[in-house]
């Protein structure tokens, strides 16, 4: 009986589908959050992964970005937030995940994302990238355009989650 129960738990674990949603999230926007919520309905677990880009100095440092994402995803039980300084496929091997989630806004995203998907698949043929279309109301949102508005004190309500508006405005003002 004990042995059977163990086998049951073990099978479920190996079938658990963990998806990784990577990006810079500097800062997280309502467009990102929408992709996270929709992914959390499809996969058992979603790891939002803030990737370190050594060539880019961001508005928020990596730990601050992680904290902001944690703040706005705290009610989503199967969503975790982490950061990683290395190759995405290496992180995925560590976590036993084979699915990358990407959001697509416009045709202009396609070329870059297509190249990245092929590269990641070349680095690890077990890895698949799944694309989710943005909702129309978020299709014009990007972290960089929001930062441009915030630097000059423009209204960013509706563009980033309400809980982080003040932090984004304050940080942008002090640039």
Q: Least distance to ligand ADP from the beta carbon of 74, Å?
A: 20
Annotated catalytic residue 105: yes
Show Cβ contacts of residue 68 under 8 Å, excluding neighbours closer than 6 positions: 25, 27, 28, 60, 164, 167
Catalytic position from the list 95, 105, 139, 142: 105
Catalytic residue among 56, 108, 144, 157: 56
What's the rounded Cα separation, in Å, for the pair 37 and 120? 24
Nearer to ligand ADP, 23 or 169 (CB): 23
Sheet holding 99-104, edge to edge: 79-84, 45-51, 18-23, 99-104, 128-133
Active-site residue flag, 3:
no
Cβ at position 149, least distance to ligand ADP in Å:
13
Q: By C-beta, is 143 or 169 nearer to ligand ADP?
A: 143
d(CA 43, CA 52): 24
Least Å from the CB of residue 5 to ligand ADP: 40
Nearer to ligand ADP, 8 or 114 (CB): 114
CA distance 156 to 165: 7
For residue 147, the minimal CB distance to ligand ADP (Å) is: 9
The answer to whether residue 139 is catalytic is no
Residue among 95 and 105 whose Cβ is closer to ligand ADP: 105
Catalytic residue (one of 32, 102, 147, 171): 32
Question: Which residues would be at the binding site for ligand ADP (CB under 6 A)?
Answer: 23-25, 29, 31-32, 35, 102-103, 105, 109, 134, 138, 141-144
- Cis status of the peptide bond prior to 162, with omega within 30 of 0: no
Catalytic residues: 32, 56, 105, 143
């Amino acid at each position: 009986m004990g042995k059977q129960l163990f086998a049951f738990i073990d099978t479920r674990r190996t079938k658990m589908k963990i998806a990784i949603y990577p990006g810079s999230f500097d800062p997280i926007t309502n467009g990102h959050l929408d992709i996270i919520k929709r992914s959390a309905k499809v996969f058992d677990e979603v790891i939002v992964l803030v990737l370190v880009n050594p060539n880019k100095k961001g508005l928020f440092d990596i730990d601050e970005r992680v904290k902001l994402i944690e703040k706005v995803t705290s009610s989503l039980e199967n969503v975790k937030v982490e950061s990683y300084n290395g190759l995405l496929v290496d992180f995925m091997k560590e976590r036993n995940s084979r699915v990358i989630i990407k959001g697509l806004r416009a045709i202009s995203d396609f070329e870059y994302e297509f190249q990245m998907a092929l590269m990641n698949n070349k680095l690890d043929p077990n890895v698949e990238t799944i694309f989710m279309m943005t909702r129309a109301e978020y299709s014009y949102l990007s972290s960089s355009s929001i930062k441009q508005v915030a630097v000059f004190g423009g209204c960013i309500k509706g563009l980033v989650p309400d809980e982080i508006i003040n932090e984004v405005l304050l940080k942008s003002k002090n640039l």
